[in-house]
Chains A and B, each alone.
Chain A
């Protein structure tokens, strides 16, 4: 089973991007939403695997 990881990338202006890997189903969405509370969500992408219930990778970017 893949390790579940969350990568938070913080830019020089404080904006951040959250990327998840190793999740299945809605798990990654819950993780990214936790960090999305840090600012306005600019965009959110969930790969097709999310809908099939397979492994998923998602990203969410927030403004500062």
Chain B
């Protein structure tokens, strides 16, 4: 049985998380009010629970469910099995966080009425420039 690992994040916006996961190819994601159990490769119910779950059939052959569990601060903790860390490694996790950050920054800017002037890549970084109304 592949043990689960938990990774803390500053991700706290559900809609942006779901959009970021969709951008990473996970459009079929469960979103629960109350955390539900994750299921392992053998169909075994695992003690780990999460509100946002990607079921193993969408993750890959021999995979376990992936989960995002809200912590006491309202941030989502990424729960991934040792086995699935091969595909969902630090690079994958960083890409997800980057996608989330872009979506969240645009959302905040829009809520403040800022106008997006430019999006560009510089030194492997994404640079968003907004105009703030006087």
Contact = CB atoms under 8 A, between A and B. Distances in A.
Contact of B129 (A7, A10, A35, A40): A7
Given A10-B125, A39-B10, A63-B10, A16 B101 contact: yes
A62 interface: yes
A10 B130 contact: no
Contacts of B127: 7-10
Contacts, number: 82
Contacts of A1: 134
A13 B9 CA distance: 11
A33 to B, nearest CB: 11
Interface string B90-134: 000011111011101100110010100100001011111111111
A14 B101 contact: yes
**Size range of the chain A interface in the assembly:** 20 to 34
Given A1-B134, A31-B132, A35-B105, A14 B100 contact: yes
Contacts of A13: 94, 97-98
Q: Which of A7, A8, A15 has the most CB of B within 10 A?
A: A8
Interface in A1-48: 1, 3-16, 22-23, 31, 34-35, 37-40
A37 B25 CA distance: 27
Given A5-B131, A6-B130, A7-B129, A12 B108 contact: no
A22 B105 CA distance: 20
A64 B101 contact: yes
A16 B9 CA distance: 14
A62 B83 CA distance: 31
